[in-house]
């Protein structure tokens, strides 16, 4: 087994390679004069299982194109099996038609990857697990819930409460609460689809004096966690810890000044933007990915 990395997450690829003691494939990724992406694999891949790792974060279209071209090149280089490992799947929030006239974007992305070709796809904390059905031939959706929960357990107080920031996150928050052995509540959230503005209206049970945990699949602009934390703080929460698998922070850190978050944990599914507040911690997904790849190799 060897690992081949696009330009999105070389540090994560390196970590997985170190854990599995497998080589990182030498490759070139550049541009043709017209702006087209040019990739070239420099190592011999014949009869090898190739793990092709690429996170579809910003600049997402470059990263997507690299992934498609690398997948094609990998097959042409005689590999025996290609596992595409996509720690963050861009466009996953476009998992349904919200307004008439829109495309089903997450399906379009999955189909493009299907066309480039692979034997198995590994994804992480999908926004909606139905997206898995768009992938052919085989795809798995891993979760870091247990990893985050294990990190949180030593800090757990008797009055701990897990709070889902919205209806879409109910199931994953409930699973997180079960892992912690803590009760569960939910916030009522609305988002203006045109402006993206998020409003939190109420919480299902009182939070005053309680240790509150929010679990979410991703922080994109930050609006959801910032508004949720502000609401919970106003409602008397004693502490607020946020665990979110994908920390995109697309609008930077400015809005987090008023967030009143005590701890914020994200994974290395995408690189953390510079300037993070001191309460932000990164938990690596590499051990979990390595374990999964080991199991595939044995199977």
Catalytic residues: 189
Closest contact distance (angstroms) between CB of 198 and ligand R5P is 5
Binding window for ligand R5P (CB under 6 A); candidates: 81-89, 134-142, 218-226, 260-268: 218-226
Q: Which of 6, 90, 169, 247 binds ligand R5P (CB under 6 A)?
A: 169
CB 73, CB 66: distance < 8 Å: no
Closest contact distance (angstroms) between CB of 299 and ligand R5P is 32
Closest contact distance (angstroms) between CB of 141 and ligand R5P is 14
Asked if 166 is part of the footprint of ligand R5P (rule: CB under 6 A), the reply reads yes
Residues 180-199 that bind ligand R5P (CB under 6 A): 198
Closest contact distance (angstroms) between CB of 227 and ligand R5P is 8
Measured distance CA(297)–CA(35) in Å, rounded: 37
Asked if 221 is part of the footprint of ligand R5P (rule: CB under 6 A), the reply reads yes
Binding mask 82-101 toward ligand R5P (x if CB under 6 A, else -) reads -----------x--------
Asked if 57 is part of the footprint of ligand R5P (rule: CB under 6 A), the reply reads no
Q: Which of 66, 95, 216, 268 binds ligand R5P (CB under 6 A)?
A: 216
Binding window for ligand R5P (CB under 6 A); candidates: 35-43, 148-156, 161-169, 229-237: 161-169
**Which residues contact ligand R5P (rule: CB under 6 A)?**
93, 165-166, 168-169, 198, 216-224
């Amino acid at each position: 087994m060897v690992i081949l990395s696009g330009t999105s997450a070389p540090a994560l690829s390196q970590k997985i390679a170190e854990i599995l003691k497998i080589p990182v494939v030498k490759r070139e990724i550049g541009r043709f004069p017209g702006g087209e992406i040019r990739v070239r694999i420099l190592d011999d891949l014949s009869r090898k299982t190739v793990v092709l790792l690429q996170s579809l974060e910003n600049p997402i279209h470059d990263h997507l194109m690299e992934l498609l071209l690398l997948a094609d090149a990998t097959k042409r280089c005689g590999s025996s099996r290609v596992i595409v490992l996509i720690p963050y799947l861009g466009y996953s929030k476009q998992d349904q038609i919200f307004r008439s006239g829109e495309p089903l974007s997450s399906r379009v992305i999955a189909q493009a990857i299907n066309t480039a070709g692979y034997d198995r796809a590994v994804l992480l904390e999908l926004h909606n697990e139905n997206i898995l059905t768009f992938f052919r031939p085989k795809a798995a959706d891993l979760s870091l819930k247990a990893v985050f929960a294990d990190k949180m357990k030593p800090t757990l107080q008797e009055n701990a409460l897990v709070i889902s920031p919205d209806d879409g996150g109910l199931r994953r928050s409930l699973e997180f609460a079960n892992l912690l052995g803590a009760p569960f509540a939910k916030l009522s959230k609305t988002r203006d689809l045109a402006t993206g503005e998020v409003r939190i209206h109420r919480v299902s049970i009182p939070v005053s004096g309680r240790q509150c945990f929010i679990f979410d699949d991703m922080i994109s602009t930050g609006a959801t966690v910032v508004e949720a934390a502000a609401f919970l703080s106003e409602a008397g929460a004693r502490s607020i810890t946020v665990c979110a698998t994908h920390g995109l922070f697309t609008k930077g850190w400015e809005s987090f000044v008023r967030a009143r978050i005590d701890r914020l944990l994200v994974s290395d599914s995408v690189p953390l933007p510079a300037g993070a507040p001191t309460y932000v911690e990164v938990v690596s997904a590499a051990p979990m990915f390595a374990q999964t790849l080991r199991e595939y190799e044995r199977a």
